[in-house]
Every structure is written in structure tokens, then in C-alpha cells.
Structure 1
């Protein structure tokens, strides 16, 4: 006589075989996708990382936002501290006991840091030569670059993307954006902030449409007047500048052609704070070549 346990297992197996694809989907995953897909699309527009990849990594790394690291520290991508990180940290067991992980105030901060982590990591540079719709290439490339130690990491990402149709965010919204802006501005990073280099003929309106940032914010972030006309070559920040430079830039020796404004843009410092750091006023004489300015 077969055991009750055996019969139960057989029944459950039969039920599983009868389930359709939609029924195999995890509600927690679907809730996570609804909550974060807009952020993933915005990150794609700004950093050129497929939204499908970002969402799949967030789902996999955070257990759809239910992992302790995600719940308590808003770290959705399992990014460890690294030498350059000077923000909040938390300790957790991973490949080794008591490893250091980054901690964030909000989940959106984790998404932004994930984008910066990939965009500025030398070992991930080859990924940005792939099409933004090539999620399989991205998944395999992430594994090749060593993002995770799991030998099936790429397959897991691809399976998640295909089961939940995440590539629709690379095409339905993302592809429309790509078609409208076939030659988007390349994002760069300075002082832990993203920026682009303006081209001749750029306007606040054109940049606003491409980057999804209001004209007012672009002018405010870069301390520029409404009637400013881009000549090409200007640094344009996509987020508010900091009060001081990063730790590796303590002072700066003024060079030919420098101005207080150009220096503030170069190091991502608000102009008023650069004046304050150097005990200067906006109407003070311009710094001379060879002068040493404090950056923090």
C-alpha cells in the first residue's frame, strides 16, 4: 500500500503539470515589477542599461524585495561596499561570513547606484556595445564579467525576463525612446553624479525630452540662465551638485582658461559652496593661474 505522503506528492505533481504559464507566475514577483518598472525604464533612458535586465537582477538579487538586505537596507542588487563606497553600510553573510554591503535610504537610490556601478565599472564596459534590446547578451555578459558567482546566473535572468515578459519594457517604451533619440548623449560620472557633454545645437528643451528631466531642473542643477545657449563641450549635470568634491580631490591648481564656474562644473560642486570653501564672494577677483583652491 502506497504511503499517504507518496499519494500527496503524486497529486501535487499532477496539479503542477496542469497549471498554465500565467498560473506559474509568482504574485510577489508581479507586485515587484508593478512597483519598480518605471524606475527601471528611467534608469535605462539615463544609463542605457536594459530595463528588463535591471528588473530581473532586482527580482533575483532581492527575492522580489523580500530579502533582509532589501527590507532593512534597501539594497536590491546585492552590491558590496568596495573601496570607493563611503555611504551607509550593513553586514551580512554571502560568499563569506559578515561581508560589507551598501545600504540606502530608499530603494530608488539602490537602482541609481546599480546603474552607476555598471556604467563606471571597467569590466562591464563591453556590455554597453550591445543593443539595448539584447537582454540575453547582457545576461550572459554580466555572468562573464563576474557580477555573480552562481554558474546559472545568466540563465536565471533570462528565464525571469521571458516568464514575466520584462523585455516589453525594452521595446514598448524603451524602443520608442531609442527611435526618437538614435544618438543619445553618453552618460558619465563625476563626484558620484551623472552628467553628459552638451553638443552644439543642444537646447534645454531637447535635453529635457531626451533625458526625462525638466528644463527648470537642468538649469538649476547647472546654475545656468534661461537664455543660455549651448556652444558644445559643456558639462551638464543631471542631478543636483554637491557641496564639496569627493575625497580624492582636496585642492585644485587653477589653470589657463579656468573660471570659478568651470571649476565648479568640473568637480560637481555648487558654485556658492566653492566660493564659501575658499572664503570668497561672487564679486571677488577671478582666481589667477597657479592659485590653489580648496574643493572640500
Structure 2
């Protein structure tokens, strides 16, 4: 009986350790590719991002990282509509963001710096000058610890994280292997390295940051850097209408691109979304399953320029059902301010 218990304990411990990162080195090997991807998109030094992740998570061991995939301690704020968790930080039971994947946390961290005016001056710094970035973050108020900049610099230099500022998303695995040659004995890592040989060349940002206004800087950040990065940025969301799965298109794309990403045929996507073509436009709503027969609210006032299709996508209701509920002919469009019925049929006049 004791032998069985001992074997069971070893099994459980092995499973536990497989899901965590006991050392900074393991964290770096796992998340350096994310930091480099963010550097290419947002021009934030990978060394800085990685050092902040190491510091915030204690090498991946923090509760926020393990239970919420939150690697940078980003709190909910008013504009957050995703999952949340309670965690005691500066005060008891504060609200923190929860992500479906650590990659989303890295992306959100980049946007946190890029979209806020406090950090605008950072993007005029040399991207290879991690020391200036560390001191710039402290000066901008990122952290209250007076030694924050020196702590980041120490993390970077002890782990040679500045090497990741010199690489790109295609070469990052080779950089990791150069830093940690023992990984040659890691079959999983070597398989990943082999797979990377067949990937396309990375596309770097052609429009670098400059010291410009916040509005212009935000516009620069949102420019297309590559189709792959645009597709990676598309996240599945749950619609208020029965939790229907949908996505918001980040930039102009072909329906085939989204079809391939989510493994759903073009014909189904086209049918579910009542599309009359294959070109998707920025900010389009695209459902990944059949829409409902009714809306989650009773009525809605049409806005200037809105079509019935726009309204059907906004509320997750089938277009034919929407026309029927409003006693309108298919193809007829609403007037600005017109009351649109989403649940029951419009009363006969």
C-alpha cells in the first residue's frame, strides 16, 4: 500500500512540475518567443518585457500567472470586459485580468505601454538601450519601488536577456539554443526548432516609433505588420446573445484566412454570417457558429448608415428572422432612428 501511495505521489509531483517553471531559465526558454514577437510589433525591447515577466511572476510561479495567465499584474480597469480573478496586491481582493493564453497577456502588456500617454517618451529611446528603457519605465511611474530600474537591469544582465533584442521571431529559437546548449537533449524543444525551419521569414515593423503625439503613435501601432500577426491577434469572444462565439476582424482579410485559422469551412462561415463575398473588412463581426433566432434585447434604434445586416451581426440574430420580425422585405434597409424589433414581431399598424 505504501509503495502504491509513493508511486502515486511521484506521478502527481511530475504532473505538477510539468505545468510550472521552477527557474528563471525555464521561464525564459518558454516565453522569450512571445517577448520577441511583441518587440517586432510594438518596438518594446524583448529584454525589458521578459525581465518584467520574470519579476512579476517570480519565474512563472505566481498565482496570477498560473491561474490567470496574467504575467504582468495588469488589473481590470474600467475598459476590461474579459474574465477576472480576485488577488491581494496593493489592497485585499483586487480585480485582475484573466487571459485564455499567456500570449494574450504579453500582447496586453504591449498595448498597456503603447496606448497610454505616460509612456510615449519611451518609444523615442534606442531599442537596444535597455538601461534607458528601465529607467524610463520607473520615471513614467510604472512601479513604485525606487530600485525598480536597477532590479530590471540586474534581471537582464544576469540572464543575458539583451541577446533577445538582437534577434527576430524566426531566429529566436536558435538564440535560446545558443544560450542554453543543454536543450539539444530536449526532444520537445528540438522538434519545435525543426518546425521553425519551415516557417516564413518574419516581417518587421516598417514604420518605427518616433516622438510624436499619442494619437499618431496609437495609429502607428495599429498598422499591419503581417497577415500572420493579424490572425494571431484575432481572439474568440462570447456574445451576450446566448454566448455565441464570434470574432472581430482586426484588419482587412480574406474569409479563407479566418477559415484556415479556426478550422471552419468558408461555406459555413459565409452561411452563418450571410456574406455576399469573401472579403472581410476591419471591425467586421464574424460568428463562428449559427446565429440565434432572436436578440438578447427587445428593440434597438437604427443608427445612421446601419444596414439590417449590420444590426443582425451586432445582436447575433439571423438576418431572415430580423426581416420577418420587422415585417420588412429582404434587401430593405432601416432609416436612422427606426425602431428595430429583435425578439417579437413588430405589431401590425
TM over 0.5: yes
Partner of 1:82: 77
Choose the corresponding residue for 2:331, options 277, 284, 288. Answer: 284
Contact 1:56 1:161 survives alignment (8 Å): yes
**Distance in 2 between the 1:289 and 1:148 partners?**
48
Choose the corresponding residue for 1:45, options 37, 40, 47. Answer: 40
Partner of 1:54: 49
**Cα 1:241–1:58 shift into 2, 3 Å:** farther
**Distance in 2 between the 1:283 and 1:131 partners?**
57
Matches for 1:155-166 after TM superposition, within 5 Å: 155-166=150-161
Partner of 1:220: 258
Bigger relative contact order, structure 1 or 2 (CA pairs below 8 A, ≥6 apart): 1
TM-score where L is the length of structure 2: 0.52
**Cα 1:277–1:113 shift into 2, 3 Å:** farther
Q: Deviations over 1:63-119 (max 9, x none)?
A: 010122222222211122222223333333322333332233332232222222222
Partner of 1:17: none
Partner of 2:108: 113
**Cα 1:129–1:171 shift into 2, 3 Å:** same
Choose the corresponding residue for 2:303, options 241, 251, 254. Answer: 254
1:142 equivalent in alignment to 2:145:
no
TM-score where L is the length of structure 1: 0.60
Q: Deviations over 1:271-296 (max 9, x none)?
A: 744572886469533444555789xx
Which range is displaced more, 81-90 or 142-151? 81-90
Partner of 1:183: 207
Matches for 1:22-41 after TM superposition, within 5 Å: 28-41=23-36
- Tell me, which stretches of 5 or more residues in structure 2 are unaligned? 1-20, 172-200, 210-215, 234-252, 260-269, 292-298, 324-328, 342-349
> What is the root-mean-square deviation of aligned Cα atoms in Å?
4.7
